[in-house]
Amino acid sequence: MQRAAAEEVAALYQVYWAGLPAGEIRLALRDEPDAYRDEIAIRSEGLPRLVTRFRGTASSAGRLATGDSPAPQSYEARYDLRKGTDKRLSMRFAVRGDGAIAERGPEDTSKKLPLAEPFRRNVLDPLSALTAIRAQLRQGNRGAFTVPVYDGARRFDVRVAVEPRRDADGALHLRLTLAPIAGFKGETSDDGDPDDSPRPVAMTISDDARLMPLSMQVSLYYLPLIVQLHRWCGSGEPCGW
């Protein structure tokens, strides 16, 4: 599957938790011949909004190396929670020797110490991880592969397995496992102690040139959290709220 010389795809998603509306997501992915930029905006609604007051945006930019593998250069996230507003996560990826190290940028407001350097070497930020998955699929990988991720506080692997094709489905079905490596229980982040057990995620991606997420399902507090495509955003069309 070939990628266009320069292409941007954008979509809006609805989030449900325990069957009730829980939020909205705007996702925009732009691929150029040798670079990429990903952007996401999330806002909670319903009960989750009453509890968390969560709202946030994030962007990632980097180069597309040989084979379309992403080499991130920067990651910026800004979000509000009930216990704090205008929180910022900033990362820069500094090339050193045979790899790149994720380091905190000047806008970062994190108070905890970063993980040891080995956990921050040759990793991807969460948005670049999606670019890496799309790159593997674009190259025709229909087996299994692993994406190393660092979100500024936690290091984990995203283990991806592509399921057999389903007739007339129009989608690629992926089984993901979020496997904790470091920064989980016993190594708390600013936002609490997340569970340190592997977490399965079911994801579908459009089986076309866009390779855009269509749905995702994961368990959150033992209840299903479901993200579903609401609508595509056309070229030049406002895509947001």
Please give the Cα distance from 136 to 129 (Å, whole number): 11
For 11-33, b where at least 16 C-beta lie within 10 A, e where not — what string?
bbbbbbbeeeebbbbbbbbebee
Burial 114-136 (b: 16+ CB within 10 A, else e): bbeeebbbebbbbbbbbbbbbbb
Q: Where are the domains of the chain?
A: 7-233
Low pLDDT (below 50) residues in the chain = 1, 187-189, 191-193
Measured CA to CA, the distance from residue 28 to residue 12 in angstroms comes to 9
- pLDDT value of residue 50: 62
How far, rounded to the nearest angstrom, does the alpha carbon of residue 237 sit from its chain's CA centroid? 23
Q: How much is the pLDDT for 68?
A: 75
Q: Rounded to two decimals, what is the model's pTM?
A: 0.89
pLDDT for the residue numbered 187: 46
Instruction: Give the pLDDT score at 117.
Output: 95
pLDDT of residue 189: 47
Report how far residue 95's alpha carbon sits from residue 91's, in angstroms, rounded to the nearest whole number: 13
Burial 74-84 (b: 16+ CB within 10 A, else e): bbbbbbbeeee
